[in-house]
Amino acid sequence: MPPALLMVAATLLFSIMGVCVKLASAYYGPGEIVMYRGLVGMIALGVISRTTGVTLKTQVPAMHFWRSLSGVIALSLWFYAIGYLPLATAMTLNYMSSIWMALFLLGGAVLMGARTIDGRLVAAILVGFLGVALVLRPTFDSSQAIYGLAGLASGMLSAVAYLQVTSLGRVGEPESRTVFYFSAGGALAGALTALVSEGGFHSHSLMGATLLLGVGVPATAAQLCLTRAYAVGKPLVNACLAYLGIVFSCIWGLLLFADPVTPSAWLGIVLILAAGLAATLLRARSTPPDSQHSVSEP
């Protein structure tokens, strides 16, 4: 399958995962959903690693720990936001990760004493946060403010996780090993969260179990499509196509949930989409080619 179609498939599968997370939130807490999503990923990546001859033994356990920690917290916050916000809003806030990375890049340049700052990057960041203000304006006028902040934080931590995945790629860690340890961290952290703050585990119904599979299977399949697309395709094209996830989520939200998205929120989504694409293009020009093939999903 061409890499562009792989990316389209990945974004569609991730949006389906988001739908199942929102529906599963009626049966399970965020911790439980994260746990089961991690278990499915562990099983799938364990089988794939074994069949491809990739050992799960690592020489950099500390790097995997910190990547898993940031990724699992980001995932938990994202699932929490999906359960209570319109699907398009929650997905868009998570896709802020590119804008956060642009902000990190800009901050790093300032700290390193850069004499010139790319004004286009500054403009992209400002437009992105203007979009956030428009998306969250109705949220902060209601009792949903905490969920909006959770979605925003998930995007920031996703950016941190992406940078850590890039570092793991530079030291030679295969993607399957990185995703396996991330899934394992999610399963463990999700179980602890469910036990400590969600009153334990819920019993399963046929619908609930089906929705959990609907979270784990599409997410794992999407990760595999994503990995393959970045392995054989053009990273910049893939990064731009990834934003189709917002479009798919908008469609699902309208068709399945009749999500109340105001005109100002739609404008905010468009601004975040445009700013994210611009930040991705500008960041790609300042990133070494050998690090552009790293890919992450929280």
Per-residue confidence (pLDDT) for residue 232, from 0 to 100:
74
Query: Which amino acid type is present at position 126?
Result: L
Q: Does 297 reside within a domain?
A: no
Contact in structure between 150 and 80 (CB atoms under 8 Å) = yes
Q: Does 49 reside within a domain?
A: yes
DSSP state letters, 233-250: S-HHHHHHHTTHHHHHHH
pLDDT band per the 50, 70, 90 thresholds, residue 285: low
Q: Does 219 reside within a domain?
A: yes
Number of domains present in the structure of the chain: 1
Q: Does 298 reside within a domain?
A: no
Contact in structure between 253 and 86 (CB atoms under 8 Å) = yes
pLDDT for 205-229, tens place per residue?
A: 999 999 999 999 999 888 888 877 8
- Tokens standing for residue 247: 């479009």
Query: What value, to the nearest 5°, has the Cα angle with vertex 63 and ends 58 and 69?
Result: 115
Q: Reply yes or no on whether the pLDDT at 69 is more than 80.
A: yes
This prediction's pTM: 0.83
Q: How many residues would you count in the chain?
A: 298
Contact in structure between 44 and 220 (CB atoms under 8 Å) = yes
| Contact residues for 151 (Cβ-Cβ < 8 A; gap 6+) | 77, 78, 81, 85, 89, 90, 93, 94
Q: How far apart are CA 72 and CA 167, in angstroms?
A: 17
Structural domain containing residue 170: 3-291
